[in-house]
Amino acid sequence: MDVERARSIATIAADCGVSVETGRRLGDLTSLGVGGEIRTLLRPRTVASLASLLGELHGLEIPFRVLGGGANLVGGPGPFEDPVVLMRTIRQEPVFEGTLARAGGGFNIKRFVRACAAQGLAGLEWAEGIPGTMGGAIVMNAGSYGGQMSDHVVEVEWLAPDGSRRRRHVGAQDFAYRQSPFRAEGAVVETVFSLARDTGPAIEARLRDFQVRRTASQPPGERSAGCIFRNPPGDSAGRVIDAAGLKGLTVGGASVSEVHANFIVNRGDATSEDLFALIGRIQEEVARRTGIELREEVIRWS
C-alpha cells in the first residue's frame, strides 16, 4: 500500500470516528490462527460510523474486506493491502420483541443463543457452540446438527459496499447450504429471528445435549476453522476423509484432526502454506480413492 493511500484511509477513518490499527496479523484474529499481516485494520464502534466509512471508501474506489469472528476463515501469508473492517467491535445488544429476536452483525453467536435462552426463546440451541459473529453466521448460513440459520431468519439489514443501508424480508427459500444472498453485499449489521416459546429447563437440556455431542465429536482445545469442506450430496465430508485413511495426515504444523476428519487443526506453528498444501492433499487423495470432489466450506483469503 502506498503512503498516500494509507494516509487517505487513516484520514477517512478518523473523520468517521473509526479507530485504525496497523501491522496486525490476520492469524491473531481468526480461530485457526493462520494468516499474514493486515496493513490497515479498521475498528468501527457503531453501524452509523461503519456506514460513513464504507461510503467514503467507495467514493475513493478503495476496496475493503469485512472480518467478523474469523471462525471459518483461512488466510494466506499476506500482506493484505485492502483495509479490513472488523465487525466484532460494533456493540449492539440483542433486542427482543415477543418471539422476535434481533441480533447485531458483530454480536457473538454463543452469547446471542444464551440471551435467547434467557428469554425463553428456542430454536437456536444447536448453534450454542459455534464460534464467530452473527453477521458471519448469516452470510455463510452456518449450520450444525441438522439446524441452520436460515431456519429462523425473517429479516436482514446490511450495508451495501457504498455504505447505503438496505433491508429485506427473507425466508429459508432465499438461502442454500452454506450460502446466502449476502455473500458479496457489504456487511450484515442486523438479523431478525422468529423463534418459539419454551420453558427454561427444556431449552437448557437441549443446550447441554448439544454441548456433550460437540465435545465428543470435535477436537477440544485445538485451533481450527471448523469444517473445512462442504458435505458431498448424501454424505459427510468427515466420513469420506476418514474412510480414505487421512486422519492425522500432517503438513508442517497443520494436521487432519484425529477426532473429526473434516477439521484441520493448527498444532501451534502452522503456516498458510502448510494449510493450503494439506487442503490440496486431502482433496487429491479423496478424489483418487473415492472419486468424490470435496469443495471448501471455509472462506479463503489470499
Is residue 121 in some structural domain? yes
Contact 158, 185 (CB under 8 A): yes
Residue 176 pairs in a beta bridge with 179
Amino acid at 64: F
Domain boundary among 89, 113, 130: 89
Residue 212 maps to a domain: no
pLDDT digit string (tens) for 115-169? 999 999 999 999 998 989 999 999 999 998 889 999 999 999 999 999 999 999 9
Residue 211 lies in a domain: no
pLDDT at res. 1:
57
Q: What is the pLDDT of residues 187-212, one digit of tens each?
A: 999 999 999 999 999 999 999 999 99
Q: Lowest mean pLDDT of 2-6, 161-165, 263-267, 268-272, name the range.
A: 2-6
One domain for residues 257 and 294 = yes
Percent of residues, the chain, with pLDDT higher than 90: 87
In sequence order, what are the residues at sequence separation of 6 or more whose Cβ sits closer than 8 angstroms to the Cβ of residue 114?
128
The whole-number pLDDT of residue 183 equals: 84
| For the chain, the helix, strand and coil percentages under 3-state DSSP, each to the nearest 5 | 35, 25, 40
Average pLDDT, the chain: 94
Average pLDDT over residues 64-70: 95
Query: Which grid cell sits at 244?
Result: 480414505
Query: 12-60: per-residue pLDDT in tens?
Result: 999 999 999 998 999 999 999 999 999 999 999 999 999 999 999 999 9
Q: Which residue segment(s) compose the domain that 267 sits in?
A: 219-301
Last residue of a domain, one of 89, 114, 148: 89
When pLDDT is averaged across residues 272-279 and rounded to a whole number, the result is 97
Q: Is residue 209 part of a domain?
A: no
193 with 282, same domain: the answer is no
Are 99 and 197 within one domain? yes
Same domain for 57 and 72?
yes
Confidence of residue 6 (pLDDT cuts 50, 70, 90): confident
Across residues 284-297, what is the average pLDDT? 96
CB–CB of 282/289 below 8 Å?
Answer: no
What is the per-residue pLDDT for 222? 87
At residue 216 the predicted structure's pLDDT band, cuts being 50, 70 and 90, is: confident
Query: How confident is the model at residue 96, as a pLDDT?
Result: 98
Q: Is the distance from CB of 168 to CB of 138 less than 8 angstroms?
A: no
pLDDT at residue 244, as a whole number:
95
Can you give the pLDDT at residue 3? 66
pTM of this prediction? 0.91
The catalytic residues are 178, 227, 297
Can you tell me the mean pLDDT for 83-100? Answer: 96
Average pLDDT over residues 278-300: 96
Query: How much is the average pLDDT of 72-99?
Result: 95
Q: Scan for cell 430454536, then name that residue.
A: 123
| 90 SS3 class | coil
pLDDT band at 215 (very low <50, low <70, confident <90, very high): confident
Counted domains in the chain = 3
The CA–CA distances, whole Å, from 12 to 65, 172, 176 equal 16, 38, 37
| pLDDT at residue number 186 | 87
The kind and range of the H/E element at 191 are strand 187-194
Domain identity same for 135 and 112: yes
Q: State whether 114 and 190 are in the same domain.
A: yes
Q: Which residues, 6 or more positions from 226, have their beta carbon under 8 angstroms from its beta carbon?
A: 31, 71, 72, 130, 131, 263, 297, 298
Residue 7 pLDDT > 80, yes or no?
no
Asked if residue 195 lies in contact with residue 122, where contact means CB atoms within 8 angstroms, the answer is yes
The pLDDT value recorded for residue 113 is: 98
- Mean pLDDT (whole number) for 240-264: 96
